[in-house]
Structure 1
């Protein structure tokens, strides 16, 4: 994935995150209980943070184009958004508890993405 593609993906993730936040604050208030609204908000928080993380990975790829781990880190960060935030959104909307079992896979993807980012930058020539 090129820096440009990462930036487009990051921007699209930000659009969805902002829309999800607004939907949670205005569309779900009073429709789901406070606990599930908290689950929704956790999904939004991690979605926003990691969409910004995609921008950071794109910037780092521009600075270190030879660092292939940054390519993988970008994909893992996106996968984390889908799995972590997506599972929390679905859990909040449906109440289906087994969806909570998917959430840690997204968290693992986030952790791996950040670890790969750190390793790629550490190893990159200065």
Structure 2
């Protein structure tokens, strides 16, 4: 039950923040971003919103009674957070003139966790075939 609530809460929060940050980036910051910054920011928002929906779908379709399902949910939650929010941190810090370079390696780590989540989800489907 805790894992379902975590997954639903994270999905709802990521969805809310994705819309908020997307609107903020498209309206309040569009004149401040360089082309590369705008593309990076949009990538963070896109991945965040996509995985918010994935988390909500998973929370209503998985029972989270097996460790595998728990790992899937946690990989998507942590991966989304690390991937998207490290991009936001890089873009915003660069706008302020002091790019937080330590976040550079965090983005691919988040992407790796997203890949792990997808791979585990695929494995959970295939494992039921045999």
TM-score (norm 2): 0.84
C-alpha distance after superposition, 1:47-75 (max 9, x if no partner): 0111111112213313xx54321111111
CA distance in 2: counterparts of 1:110 and 1:89, whole angstroms: 17
C-alpha distance after superposition, 1:41-100 (max 9, x if no partner): 0000100111111112213313xx543211111111111111100111011111226222
**Which residue matches 2:12?**
11
The answer as to 2:59 corresponding to 1:58 is yes
CA distance in 2: counterparts of 1:79 and 1:21, whole angstroms: 20
**Which residue matches 1:30?**
31
Q: Is the 8 A contact 1:67 1:124 kept in 2?
A: no
> Which consecutive segments of 4 or more residues in structure 1 shift more than 3 A?
none
In structure 1, runs of 5+ residues without a counterpart are none
Q: Is the 8 A contact 2:7 2:55 kept in 1?
A: yes
Total equivalences in the alignment: 124
The answer as to 2:115 corresponding to 1:114 is no
In structure 2, runs of 5+ residues without a counterpart are none
- SS of equivalent residue, structure 1 residue 15: helix
CA distance in 1: counterparts of 2:18 and 2:117, whole angstroms: 19
**Which residue matches 1:43?**
44
CA distance in 1: counterparts of 2:9 and 2:34, whole angstroms: 34
CA distance in 2: counterparts of 1:102 and 1:3, whole angstroms: 26
